[in-house]
Structure 1
């Protein structure tokens, strides 16, 4: 069935919008969809296409046909909900997340690309939070996860100097923070972000509860005092605070932030498996819980037509999406003011993305990708290739075991 195919692909990496899109194309879900979209937080963060010729010397974004869709999925390390209200104290205590004010760092950034051609694979590309990159807006080189906060803080300072009221400062500076992050990702990857989906700590926790937990698998037991993660080896189902601890842990992992990226990819694969196999989006109770979670803690770009997006996905197959990570160098790159960061070469990243958009003919003819990620090895100096760069891409139709 067409609806089944829509569900199978939407659930893989776009959980923040999946239930809304599917509800919109089912008669029984239309009223719920309209109610949800009325209450859903949106922001005008997608700016018009830049000129075709860059005046700053930067790359001209790679652009696929208009039917292709590229989304930036962001997980915020925010202690407030989508409306700016502080998160519950008990949730913050369970997460060991500090004060309700918190930071505005982006802990998770994944670019989701959905091609118009159903014969091509859709893919999710993880951007490690500690990637040392040039931040758009004249901020210089810093960790990628600071782009949002730097753009927001700079705009807030300008608005305060203009004598604007606090509500205006909060609203407009937040928009500028999101735009700074999007522009930075555009520059790093050579892509053009079409849509934006942001989920905070509360939203992530509530969504995992709504679907009845997410199956994951660990190669080894873990115990981390920083994130609170304490899990045995093997397969298990996590939800709520435990799910957050699973995806937030990076201390005690061999490759730090890069291993956490693998955790996040594996979690999204498990989430897709859970939603597709358990009939989540046909269960009225689970739909109600999902809509409640989405409207409390998710922000989408203004004007995203979710109905058209769902229809675009109708011909994609369940296993036709993979998760990968941008090529990286040293994971302990010393920086002047940001501590240790993850080394990234923008030229290598853009070459890697180009291969994802238009795979070489030999790769297109292969039924399965080789276990080593040869593309990443080709674009990096061999002595700087990390172990994490040699693992096989995660297929969203599986529940892989990770460290």
Structure 2
């Protein structure tokens, strides 16, 4: 598939290029912003202990797992305001569950360009909790199991259950992806669906380009062909649409990458005030692992990021569900290839056109 690259000036921008995303991760700052701003973001964002201190670590760089959740709830499991849900055009608060519909392994080498590897969400893989399932399901299954365990032990406080359940979900998702890719995970970034909306809203919308007109009532997508500016609600529909696309979910992955490339392009021209406002917004939506030292990370920030989508073998029907057949050996070989010698990104030639 085509990859999208561009020059980045900051950690904030790098993570935005690879999160919903995502987005992915909308948590840091542009270069030139005062150190006090970095410190404020670092101490204000939600932290996770899902990656133990004693797990294996990368030796020639760092692997950051970026997880985009489908939930329409906030970080405490509370419903979003009705007016926000209406503008998101993503249905009611009880939709979506806790699937990790976006999974990106961001490989940041000691030197040279970084590579963001998208893992198709419907890959049929062994799950950390046991058995097989779609890779996106590791989070939600573990969350439910942990909450049931705690209820059986007498715990009924909703926020305690939500926090413990999400931590179990993060642990399971990290272990599942790490085993499937045969790569250690050094850090994690989690962002929910509202994060995509907040990113686009904070920027006043984004510019995208479509090869053909498209309409999908399930996602709310209704776009003409060609270059166009999308508001926050439209942008969320743009990244959520999969019905009516030539490649289905893989087409949606390219949509997400194009959206993040558009965010990066917009941020390049943004002033410090806009970035600070978005950083404050990110605290509502983003979770980082406890060991993610943002200040240290800024000292070795890559200037380039390339997107890749990891291979699948084709579709299959298993237990009444549509899944992706995968060859773990081929996937792991591709990851190793990209992690050890990522190709240079293409020139930054503006907003890419996608299906």
Instruction: Report the TM-score range of the alignment, normalised by the length of the smaller protein.
Output: 0.7 to 0.9
- Residue 30 (structure 1) aligned with residue 35 (structure 2): yes
Give the Cα separation in 2 of the matches to 1:234 and 1:125.
27
Q: Which residue of 2 aligns with 1:296?
A: 284
Q: Which residue of 1 aligns with 2:308?
A: 324
Q: After the TM superposition, which residues 89-104 of structure 1 pair with which residues of structure 2 at under 5 Å, given as runs?
A: 89-102=82-95, 103-104=97-98
- Residue 169 (structure 1) aligned with residue 169 (structure 2): no
Q: 1:358 to 1:293 in 2, by over 3 A?
A: same
Find 1:237's aligned residue among 195, 216, 229: 229
Q: 1:70 offset after TM fit, Å?
A: 1.2
User: Does structure 1 conserve the Cα–Cα contact (< 8 Å) formed by 2:106 and 2:117?
Assistant: yes
Deviation by residue 1:329-380 (Cα, 9 ceiling, x = unmatched): 223x11025x111121211110110111223xxx96xx77xxxxxxxxxxxx
- Residue 111 (structure 1) aligned with residue 105 (structure 2): yes
Give the Cα separation in 2 of the matches to 1:205 and 1:19.
14
Give the Cα separation in 2 of the matches to 1:184 and 1:203.
24
Give the Cα separation in 2 of the matches to 1:301 and 1:169.
19
User: Does structure 2 conserve the Cα–Cα contact (< 8 Å) formed by 1:222 and 1:231?
Assistant: yes
Q: Tell me whether 37-46 or 290-299 shows the greater mean CA deviation.
A: 37-46
Q: 1:161 to 1:18 in 2, by over 3 A?
A: closer
Q: Which residue of 2 aligns with 1:358?
A: 340
Find 2:317's aligned residue among 334, 343, 346: 334
Q: After the TM superposition, which residues 59-70 of structure 1 pair with which residues of structure 2 at under 5 Å, given as runs?
A: 63-65=58-60, 68-70=61-63
Q: TM-score, normalised by structure 2?
A: 0.88
Q: TM-score, normalised by structure 1?
A: 0.78
User: Does structure 1 conserve the Cα–Cα contact (< 8 Å) formed by 2:313 and 2:325?
Assistant: yes
Where does the alignment leave 5 or more consecutive residues of structure 2 unmatched? 1-6
Q: Tell me whether 349-358 or 2-11 shows the greater mean CA deviation.
A: 2-11
Give the Cα separation in 1 of the matches to 2:27 and 2:68.
18
User: Does structure 2 conserve the Cα–Cα contact (< 8 Å) formed by 1:21 and 1:309?
Assistant: no
User: Does structure 1 conserve the Cα–Cα contact (< 8 Å) formed by 2:187 and 2:288?
Assistant: yes
Give the Cα separation in 1 of the matches to 2:299 and 2:132.
40
User: Does structure 2 conserve the Cα–Cα contact (< 8 Å) formed by 1:327 and 1:349?
Assistant: yes
Q: Which residue of 1 aligns with 2:242?
A: 250
Q: 1:396 to 1:127 in 2, by over 3 A?
A: farther
Q: Which residue of 2 aligns with 1:309?
A: 297
Structure 1 or 2, whichever has the larger Rg, is 1
Q: 1:262 to 1:185 in 2, by over 3 A?
A: same
Q: Which residue of 1 aligns with 2:49?
A: 44
Q: 1:179 offset after TM fit, Å?
A: 0.8
Q: 1:4 to 1:336 in 2, by over 3 A?
A: closer
User: Does structure 1 conserve the Cα–Cα contact (< 8 Å) formed by 2:17 and 2:263?
Assistant: yes
Give the Cα separation in 2 of the matches to 1:137 and 1:208.
35
Find 1:156's aligned residue among 140, 147, 150: 147
- Residue 401 (structure 1) aligned with residue 324 (structure 2): no
Q: 1:133 offset after TM fit, Å?
A: 1.2
Q: Tell me whether 30-39 or 296-305 shows the greater mean CA deviation.
A: 30-39
Higher RCO (Cα < 8 Å, 6 or more apart): 2
User: Does structure 2 conserve the Cα–Cα contact (< 8 Å) formed by 1:215 and 1:235?
Assistant: yes
Give the Cα separation in 2 of the matches to 1:322 and 1:3.
11
Give the Cα separation in 2 of the matches to 1:80 and 1:291.
20
When you count strand as a share of all residues, which structure comes out higher? 2
Give the Cα separation in 2 of the matches to 1:117 and 1:64.
13
User: Does structure 2 conserve the Cα–Cα contact (< 8 Å) formed by 1:321 and 1:395?
Assistant: no
Where does the alignment leave 5 or more consecutive residues of structure 1 unmatched? 52-60, 369-393
Q: How many residues align structurally?
A: 344
The alignment's C-alpha RMSD in Å is 2.6
Q: Tell me whether 86-95 or 185-194 shows the greater mean CA deviation.
A: 86-95
Give the Cα separation in 1 of the matches to 2:349 and 2:76.
34
Give the Cα separation in 1 of the matches to 2:38 and 2:10.
19
Q: Which residue of 1 aligns with 2:330?
A: 348
Give the Cα separation in 2 of the matches to 1:47 and 1:303.
9
